[in-house]
Amino acid sequence: MRAGGATRSAGRGAGAGLKSRPAPGRRRGHTTPIIIAAVSSNNEDNHMSFLNKITGSARSATIAGLMACAALPAAAQDFKWTVQTAYASGDDLHLSFVRLAEMVEAMSGGRLVMEVSPGGAFVPSFDVLDAVNDGVIDAAGGDADYWVGKHPAGSLFASAPGFGMPSIDLMGWMAYGGGKELFDEYINETLQMTDTVAFLLSPAQAQPFGWFETPVTSTKDIKGLKYRTPGLPVDVMREMGAAVVTVPGSEVVPALEQGVIEAAEYFGPKADMILGLPDVRKVYMMPSYLQLGLIQNFFISRDRWEELPDDLQAIVTYGVMAESADFYWKGLDENSKALATMENEMGVQVAETPRDVMEAQLVAWTAVLDRYAGQDEFFAKVLDSQREFAARVVPLKARINPPADIALKHFGFD
């Protein structure tokens, strides 16, 4: 996964200190005051009141008109949010929030506008959650792998194997298996980000094992390998014997060129191609249980959220769901095209990860997860919830979905 990746390469200086920004808040609509002038006279003998000069029917019409004007609703309020993601401007993960902003603006008729900037625009990429909670920015995009340094349970909501559930299934756990409630507890209670409202969105496909000088043929090839990965997968690869080196995504290619690392994973075919990985390594290993996908987060200042009327809250909520679906569909299209380009035009060899290596990944994952669960009650509670949901969903999919290799062979796709 890109973890630090896109962050460090983030468009306008991810890693820079706090920068000036427009004050968070709203654009208010304007109402036109209704001024009713009362006409009076001190000379009752010589003057009649304004209303008494009006005939009965005219008086009734006038009063009805004034009452109707007074009953008119105030003009709809407009809202403008400053949003920063943790990713570079050209990263698919950043662009997901750009598309979400476009959806929300269109559905709200322009009443809610989100101005989305890349990582580093106002705060360093790893600080976007704190910035929202502190009111520095109105909203932010990132993923919970970024908060592992605050508490290791973050990866359980982002890219951990989820007992065999890819990210699209993990979103099902979030929505219907209690995962969203646990994520809210993680953000608001465990991390103490009490002034933040959190959403989960944009599930990605499983991430490849990565880029190597020669194909990995067994677990022995992992021993002592200088390998780049972020988050809890660092613990997993160390458990397998790798010499893990953590470098920002923007530095992965130079680190490979200079021998600082020998192999690396980043995110997926399109993102890896854009980063330039095919220029320095030609062996692309997949599949992998190291990161069985990714789920992103959308954080909103609680003050900004609660001032929205019900219809705009609904638009944001369902906009998140719409972008989640579109992000997954778009990923299928763009990653398949990028993989074909790398294989057919860039000399990349796509090598299948040996089964025993993937089994060893799960063994290592289990050791890492059990260790953290033994140390932290909340971590253990999240794991138990995932296991309960996966125990129903993973067998269902295995039993109800036909094996892919049959269709691959029949249609000539293998």
Contact 247, 228 (CB under 8 A): yes
Residue with tokens 């290799």: 405
Contact 14, 88 (CB under 8 A): yes
The reported pLDDT for the residue numbered 179 is: 97
Contact 121, 86 (CB under 8 A): no
Could you write out the DSSP letters of every residue in 249-263? Answer: GGGHHHHHHHTS-SE
Contact 225, 265 (CB under 8 A): no
The reported pLDDT for the residue numbered 142 is: 95
Could you write out the DSSP letters of every residue in 46-101? Answer: T---TGGGS-HHHHHHHHHHHHHHHHSPPPPPEEEEEEEESS-TTSHHHHHHHHHH
Residue with tokens 């959220």: 305
Question: pLDDT of the chain along its 414 residues, tens only?
Answer: 444 433 333 333 333 344 444 454 544 443 333 333 333 334 444 444 443 444 444 445 444 444 444 444 445 799 999 999 998 888 899 999 999 999 999 999 999 999 999 999 999 998 999 999 999 999 999 999 888 889 999 999 999 999 999 999 999 999 999 999 999 999 999 999 999 999 999 999 999 999 999 999 999 999 999 999 988 999 999 999 999 998 877 789 999 999 999 999 999 999 999 989 999 999 999 999 999 999 999 999 999 999 999 999 999 999 999 999 999 999 999 999 999 999 999 999 999 999 999 999 999 999 999 999 999 999 999 999 999 999 999 999 999 999 999 999 999 998
